[in-house]
A and B are shown apart, each in its own frame.
Chain A
Amino acid sequence: MANKLNTLNKTNRWNYITYLLVIIAYVILQVMSSTGSISSSLKGMLVPICAYVVMAVSLNLTVGVLGELSLGHAGFMSVGAFTGVTAAVSLQNLIPFAPLRLAVSMVVAALFAALAGFLIGIPVLRLKGDYLAIVTLAFGEIIKSIFNNLYVGLDESGFHFSLLSDTTDLSENGTLIIGGPMGIGSIQKISTFTAGFILVMITLVVVFHLVNSRAGRAIMAIRDNRIAAESVGLNITKYKMMAFVTSAALAGSAGALFAMNYSTIVANKFDFNTSILVLVFVVLGGLGNMLGSIIAAAALTILPEALREFSDYRMLVYAIVLILVMLATNNPTLKSFLARLKPGKRGEKEAA
């Protein structure tokens, strides 16, 4: 009993360290950018880093905590990006205050992504392992195809939808928001680093609280031994769905944040490669290790830019660095060294 309490405290302590590190990083970067001492290259990457961090942490909930391999996480990001921007465009006159509009559209994005996650979850969560991975992969591709063929316009009489070709038939004052393969253009760039930071913090609070709650322990019990969990009366579908939908919703708001940092967004951006990229963040950072995901997401977003001096060889160097980091983090000596430093050992078994 005493031991159990002790671990719990250690876990909590570790969570607080994560919060603290994120806040410190934010404050340092904010001070540096206000004094103009960071390069515009790094400054331009701050918002995407926040979006990728949220993506990685939320995928870690599915992969690390729930223990199901999802290869379609970019699909939820896509749903969030498109619905979020649509919401932001339609609320432009209603809410002139940009940060509030951003917040509202991120909430809308999260809701739609959660809905998508729920619908996908019904068939997908009946599957296990490889099958689940393949179905989520297919789902990501379906989302991409849908947004590549979807046209959404807005005029006085409300929203107009059409598929395959543009038959939205808008009035003169109407605007075509989503233009099929053209994606969304002329997006107002309202995403800010502060908004990204707040989203990261919210994500961490949500994920940590979920993991440390009764439901979270049920989710981890399902991961560790499904049959045992079922035999003690846990509702497998309910808990799986809880983790999956939460993960989808967070990815959706990350998508909205990401999309509104660029003036244009296309569905092809959120393809299989993006899903894998986020999965790499998660695996590299350690399954179930949120701080690891954050560091990996930030480092691997900056790395390709930092390697630009290698010009044509930079993706090769990037791959080599990835392999070396993987080898290094799986090195037994280093691992035992890290284990001594690290109080909580959640997810370590899965990682092995």
Chain B
Amino acid sequence: MKKKFLSLMLAMTMVLGLAACGGQEESTGDTSGETADNTASEAPAEGTAFKLGGTGPLTGGAAIYGNAAYRGAQIAVDEINAEGGAIQFDLRYEDDQHDAEKAVNAYNILKDWGMQISLGSVTSKPCEATAAETYADRIFALTPSASSTATTEGKDNMFQMCFMDPNQGSASALYISEKGLGSKIAIIWKNDDVYSKGIHDTFVDEAAALGLEIVSDTTFADGNDTDFSVQLTDAQNNGADLVFLPMYYQPASLILSQASAKGYAPKWFGVDGMDGILTMEGFDPALAEGVMLLTPFNADATDDKTVAFVTEYQERYGETPNQFAADAYDCVYAYKQALEAAGATPDMSAEELCELMIQQFTSMTFNGLTGENMTWDATGAVSKSPKGMVIENGAYVGLD
């Protein structure tokens, strides 16, 4: 028995030893997603770089968004540090598993690390929780992609790089009505998701104001998001000629393939969460042919900035960046511009930087991958125009 116990103890020490090695290996290896520790060693010595922190789902169901944002930000930071200008960054992302509780834990870890400016959180609900913390601690935060209204509400130091959900809903309705894309509209949305609900509600309001007729309004939720025959039949029976899909791309991909299987071919209209559908594993891009979506970022754009970013991203991670990556990339450059304009130095405290950043962000104009002439108002919402895209031959083409 003693032997057994001893062997157990030995096994435990071995596993812990292994795990520790794993951790070290990882921090020295560069090619994969994990480069935070690495950057820390590359970056200029303590006190000469701004400590930039953010939380996002790096593991779990929403990991694709967190990793995209993290990678986008990493590319921007590496570019800026390589230039060797006055503004240098030290980036650290912590995993929040798309959970408010874990996000606050992750935020506290970053605070212990000495974070000076924050990238908030990648997804909405966790960001709402961390925003309350950054507000209380007076750390300036600019989230790449947390789009709910509640994220910025009542917080003077919380800014967004993406559209707010309500804006997407009304912009979509306006776009459909202006371009005369459809007369009878069906909506399928996810009723336990803040993002989906936010867009749905404003879309319905705006559609009513514009005289668009909504003939079918059906929902799904976590757990029953694999079979959409009921929703599609309802839309078809009511003669909908355009189906609006305010959701992320996984359920959307299923809807498209199930509609195609039953021979239903209305026009499809999505929002920025749809972005990423073309690169999804196991999805036939031919099914997405003709799908329209509003998104601030187009990976196929031919301007120099986008091409450089997309090439770099593909080289490093072997996939096409989505708008989360682009938003995070823009966030870092927006910070650079603001810090330069304010004449900020890395030895300033988070509080001092917070005041400077609030002044800068409410007054500056920023050109990035996700839009030209972006401005922010005092509530923290960004003003930029969404681009209408249509998928043709497996690529985005501008709708105008």
CB distance B100 to A309 under 8 Å? no
Which of B8, B104, B193 interacts with A44 by CB under 8 Å? B104
A328–B95 alpha-carbon span in the complex (Å): 30
A332–B128 alpha-carbon span in the complex (Å): 48
Which of A41, A267, A333 interacts with B105 by CB under 8 Å? A41
- Nearest residue (CB) in B for A314 is B95
Give the contacts of A162-185 with B (CB-CB under 8 A).
164, 166, 180-183, 185
Chain A residues with CB under 8 Å of B153's CB are 185-186
A26 at interface by CB-CB < 8 Å: no
Which of A182, A308, A315 interacts with B150 by CB under 8 Å? A182
CB distance A41 to B5 under 8 Å? no
Query: B67 to chain A: closest CB distance in Å?
Result: 10
Tell me if A's interface is mostly helix, strand, loop or mixed. Answer: helix
CB distance B5 to A331 under 8 Å? yes
Contact A312:B108 (CB < 8 A) given known A331-B4, A332-B1: no
Give the contacts of B76-130 with A (CB-CB under 8 A).
94-95, 99-102, 104-105, 107-109, 111-112, 125, 128-129
Chain A residues with CB under 8 Å of B194's CB are 181-182, 266
The 0/1 profile, CB within 8 Å of B marked 1, for residues 299-327 of chain A is 00000110011111111010010001001
Chain A residues with CB under 8 Å of B154's CB are 186
Which of A41, A264, A308, A327 interacts with B129 by CB under 8 Å? A264
- Nearest residue (CB) in B for A166 is B201
Contact A310:B22 (CB < 8 A) given known A44-B108, A48-B101, A324-B15: yes
Count of interface residues, chain A, beta-carbon cutoff 8 Å: 46
B230 at interface by CB-CB < 8 Å: no
Which of A149, A269, A331 interacts with B101 by CB under 8 Å? A269
CB distance A320 to B15 under 8 Å? yes
Query: B59 to chain A: closest CB distance in Å?
Result: 6
Chain A residues with CB under 8 Å of B148's CB are 182
A189–B129 alpha-carbon span in the complex (Å): 11
A18 at interface by CB-CB < 8 Å: no
CB distance A312 to B109 under 8 Å? no
Give the contacts of A123-174 with B (CB-CB under 8 A).
145, 148-149, 164, 166
Contact A308:B109 (CB < 8 A) given known A185-B150, A186-B150: yes
B304 at interface by CB-CB < 8 Å: no
Query: A48 to chain B: closest CB distance in Å?
Result: 6
Tell me if B's interface is mostly helix, strand, loop or mixed. Answer: helix
Chain A residues with CB under 8 Å of B111's CB are 40-41
Which of A148, A305, A315, A328 interacts with B109 by CB under 8 Å? A305
Chain A residues with CB under 8 Å of B193's CB are 181
B301 at interface by CB-CB < 8 Å: no
B305 at interface by CB-CB < 8 Å: no
CB distance B191 to A149 under 8 Å? yes
Which of B100, B108, B129 interacts with A39 by CB under 8 Å? B108
Contact A327:B197 (CB < 8 A) given known A44-B105, A264-B100: no
Which of B19, B34, B112 interacts with A40 by CB under 8 Å? B112
Most buried by B among A304, A311, A331: A311
B307 at interface by CB-CB < 8 Å: no
B58 at interface by CB-CB < 8 Å: yes
Query: A62 to chain B: closest CB distance in Å?
Result: 23
A-B CB proximity, top 6 nearest: A263-B132, A44-B108, A181-B192, A41-B108, A185-B150, A264-B128
Beyond A317-B19, A333-B2, 16 additional pairs, beta carbon < 8 A: A43-B108, A148-B192, A166-B201, A182-B194, A186-B150, A186-B154, A262-B132, A263-B131, A305-B105, A305-B109, A310-B23, A312-B26, A312-B58, A320-B15, A324-B12, A328-B8
26 A–B contacts from the bound complex (CB under 8 Å): A40-B108, A41-B109, A43-B108, A48-B101, A149-B191, A180-B191, A182-B194, A186-B153, A262-B104, A263-B128, A264-B100, A265-B100, A308-B94, A308-B109, A310-B19, A311-B23, A311-B34, A311-B95, A312-B33, A312-B59, A314-B95, A315-B59, A317-B19, A324-B11, A333-B4, A333-B5
A residues with a Cβ closer than 8 A to B are: 39-41, 43-45, 48, 145, 148-149, 164, 166, 180-183, 185-186, 189, 262-269, 304-305, 308-315, 317, 320, 324, 327-328, 331-334
